[in-house]
Amino acid sequence: MATMPDVRKDGFRLSMLLYDTRYRSITLQVIFLVLFAAAAWWLIHNTVENLKALGKDFSFGFLTVRSGYDINQRLIEYSSDSPHWRAFLVGLLNTLLLAALSCVTATVVGVLAGVLRLSKNWLVARLMTVYVETFRNIPLLIWILLIFAIMTESMPAPNAFRGENPASSMLLFDSIAVTNRGVYVPEPLFTRSLGNLDLGVFLVSWDLLVIIAVLLACVLANRALRKNAETVQNATGVRPVTWWKSLLIFLVPLAALKFALGFHLGLPELKGFNFAGGTHLRNSLIAMWFALTVYTGAFIAETVRAGILAISRGQSEAAAALGLRPGRIMSLVILPQALRVIIPPMISQYLNITKNTSLALAVGYMDIRSTLGGITINQTGRELEGMLLMMLTYLVISLVISMAMNLYNSSVKLKER
Amino acid sequence: MKKSVFLGTLSLTALVAGFASAATLDDVKARGTLNCGVSTGVNGFSAPDSNGVWQGFDVAICRAVAAAVLGDPMKVNFITTTGQTRFSALASGEIDMLARNTTWTFSRDTDLKFTFAGVNYYDGQGFMVKKELGVSSAKELDGATVCIQTGTTTELNLADYFKSNNMKYEPVPIETNAEAQQQYLAGACDVYTTDASGLAATRATFADAENHIVLPEIISKEPLGPLVRQGDDQWADIARWTLNALIAAEEYGVTSANIEELAKGTENPEINRLLGTEGELGAMIGLDKDWAKRAIKAGGNYGEIFAATIGEATPIGLARGLNAQWTQGGLMYSPPFR
């Protein structure tokens, strides 16, 4: 509008709320806010009224009641005598385990596929294109069901391993058994175990904590060694040889720890109906993990490819002109810049993985949707409370992942001075 | 001012929405069809036949209620529910009644706010295994992998049974009977456990039924019956007395063959009251005089339905056992029609 309307100070009319540009946006915002509040109020009111009509109350008391059902995969102590909140916790840990495993493997698969898709090798690049287009364009649930069906239908049953001339045999020196009930792998055992640390809610193995602490110390020591080498290189121009020192830093403490704890592998062996001993990776876990990995990996591959393509050709040419080798060009010049493009969409992929774990119900993986959102709700009839609790849990997990990734993002993004 | 009118309308809508579910009978009549929740397919109890028409023991209850209320046993809209979705479907009003081999328990009746219309099948939980396992008793199942439908009472019984016998097991949770069957046949589990009737029905569909046995232990009481939402007593009465009418009809010898004959009037006043030639029983539950006659004509009396769907002449081959009339040593017993 070219001319402002001529407004007298005392001349406020109601119609100006709509026709005067000074008030219009405020009027519209107020109207939308009222409508939104009314809709929210209506939803809540309707729920309350209908709950009243059904004679149901709203209470989370059911969480302390004995659950009465068993869960096959549990990372913490749980039995049918445990309360429902513990079943919820078992499910939550299963969700987090699956999400963490899938995030790691999907990233590895995705980065590899993304980089290889840019390869100059025609066959490799085309193969990666086929992988990306196949996996990203078929629904995840179908992949999950397909992998689950392959595992249960085509793998041998445990009793095929029995007898003098068994129809199937274990892999890798009789240490891994692939059956239609899942894969049994050796488990770490400690003859001089340090026992468990009681955290009140659950127990944590001291062995695990000690191993993590020692590994962390090794990593820090190695980092100090490399930093020292760098200082020497900057001062003298010659980088001291570090590889055998690094190797020693890792191997010596770990070997000492292995001896101190009496570490050995517990192999799976046939006992009764199933294999006993070893760690049992159930079909449901494998199907979910594998499907989430290859499905999300295809998306991550595209993100990585986009990130690398976003870096102009001049950058790598300039680096090459400075005499850097191709590997160093990738790690020192291309990737640090590409990461700024890659990380933000990567956050969404990690969130997708976490939320997609709720498809686990389809193959009976006991995640939070199957324990709290499935059996608990069904046995107690607390749909509303259970669903709200589940929504809240997913929301919190997602926000935490988001926050962590945003912190990482701000650490790698371009520092402006 | 406009805002308050708007809010007032909203709250009125909410109130109407809140109380609309009170009279299920009126809803069903206005709709013209009965929404009946059934299982996703258990042969003999509820499964569509080759023409896509739902058939079975539980389905027959839905048809009888539809015949009593709407006059046509085919005016039923069958809605499939899994063990997990069935109660939400009923509580939310998506279905008017649930006839899905559902066990009558204290907490379902009270805490979940449902009303059970009675028991149409007295069952118990059993175990099915492959013969080649060489197991002859459930007590030998220590360490077995067990396929189990989630969200059922069998899940809880299973946990209790193994705990009380100090045995371990590996549960494989499964959504529907069909999936359980597939997993069991593929050998992903050693044992399939559900109600003994369901085991018989499942076993009957196997190509090699003779290679599978149902173990002798029955580890629980599973009185299965149709249920409705709590709070609508008239609707609950209709479901309850339709079931009772089917049971009473068998006791008094009223069959789909002789019902027209008997409906003209008999010497037995109880039959007369049941079939509406005497008294006003129908009006007491908001229906007409012929309600029970139509319900019985829909699929026959309780015994006829049993024989046609799951009885010994069918592939499922269940004996009457506990489900015989009380006069025959069973538990089927209808209160008097009076």
Task: Give me the interface pTM, i.e. the ipTM.
Answer: 0.75
* CATH number, position B279: 3.40.190.10
- Pairing mode, if any, of strands B76-80 and B34-38? parallel
Per-residue pLDDT, B10: 45
Question: Are the C-beta atoms of A288 and A98 separated by less than 8 Å?
Answer: yes
Residue B173 to residue A72, Cβ atoms within 8 A: yes
Torsion (CA) A206, A208, A213, A219 in degrees, nearest 10 = 170
| A381/B175 CB distance under 8 A | no
Q: Are residues B54 and B164 in the same domain?
A: no
Among residues B187, B220, B253, the one where a domain terminates is B220
* Assigned domain for B317 exists: yes
Residue B3 lies in a domain: no
For residue B100, tell me if it sits in a domain. Answer: yes
Interacting residues of A344 by C-beta distance below 8 A, sequence separation 6+: A409
| Nearest residue of chain B to residue A48 (CA atoms) | B18
Residues 153-212 of B with CB under 8 A from A: 155-156, 158-160, 162-163, 169-175, 183, 186-190
The verdict on B130 and B114 lying in the same domain is no
Contact B113 A381 (CB under 8 A): yes
Per-residue pLDDT of B103-148, as tens digits, reads 999 988 988 889 999 999 999 999 999 998 888 888 888 888 999 9
Are B134 and B199 within one domain?
A: yes
- Which of B164, B190, B220 is the endpoint of a domain? B220
Q: Are residues B198 and B170 in the same domain?
A: yes
Using CA atoms, how far residue A32 sits from A37, A152, A179, B116, in Å, is 8, 54, 59, 47
Tell me, what amino acid is at A48? V
**CB of B271 closer than 8 Å to CB of B263:** no
Looking at the structure of chain B, the number of domains it has is 2
In a domain, B6, yes or no: no
B176 touches B40 (CB < 8 A): yes
Distance CA B78, CA B25 (A): 17
Supply φ then ψ for residue B125, to 5 degrees.
-80, 135
Say yes or no: B35 and B162 in one domain.
no
SS3 content of chain A, % helix, strand, coil (to 5): 65, 10, 25
pLDDT of residue A129: 94
Write down the pLDDT at residue A7: 52
- With a pLDDT cut of 70, the percent of chain B lying above it is 93
The answer to whether residue B170 scores a pLDDT higher than 70 is: yes
Using a CB-CB cut-off of 8 Å, the residues of chain B touching A376 are none
Are the beta carbons of A272 and B144 separated by less than 8 Å? yes
- Give 10-residue mean pLDDT values along chain A (417 residues): 55 80 86 95 89 80 90 87 92 94 95 89 94 94 92 84 72 78 84 75 80 89 89 86 84 83 79 80 92 95 92 90 88 86 90 92 89 88 89 94 89 74
Are the C-beta atoms of A385 and A131 separated by less than 8 Å? no
- Quote the tokens at residue B39: 């299982």
Tokens of A223: 């980092």
* Nearest to A393, CA basis, from A92, A189, A34: A92
Considering B220, B255, B276, which residue would you say is the last residue of a domain?
A: B220
Residue A280's pLDDT is what? Answer: 87
Same domain, residue pair B216 and B130: yes
Tell me which residue range forms the domain holding B174: 126-220
Q: Answer yes or no: do B233 and B311 share one domain.
A: yes
More confident residue, A413 or B64: B64
CA B113, B114, B115, B119 dihedral sign is negative
For residue B287, with 0-12 CB atoms within 10 Å meaning exposed, 13-18 middle and 19 or more buried, which class applies?
buried
d(CA A374, CA A236): 66
Judge whether B313 lies within some domain.
yes
Question: Nearest Cα to B158, choosing from B173, B177, B178?
Answer: B173
What token pair was written down for A327? Answer: 């590997």
Q: Are B120 and B57 in contact (CB under 8 A)?
A: yes
Give domain status of residue B205, yes or no.
Answer: yes
Instruction: Check whether residue B266 and residue B284 sit in a common domain.
Output: yes
Q: Are B107 and B239 in a shared domain?
A: yes
B244 shares its domain with B317: yes
Judge whether residue B249 has pLDDT over 90.
Answer: yes
Residue A161 and residue A177 in contact, taking contact as beta carbons nearer than 8 Å = yes
Residue corresponding to tokens 């849990």:
A393
Name the residue facing B14 among A46, A54, A181 (closest C-beta): A46
Q: Which residue of B has its CA nearest to A145?
A: B179
Q: Looking at the structure, do residues B303 and B211 belong to the same domain, yes or no? A: no
Domain contains B14: no
For residue A43, give Cα distances in angstroms to A49, A55, A382, B308: 10, 18, 18, 48
Gap between the Cα atoms of B242 and B83, Å rounded: 25
Answer whether residue B261 is part of any domain.
yes
Are residues B80 and B37 part of one domain?
A: yes
Would you say B254 and B246 are in contact if contact means Cβ atoms under 8 Å apart?
no
Q: Measured between alpha carbons, how far is residue B199 from residues A53, A82, A115 in Å?
A: 38, 30, 53
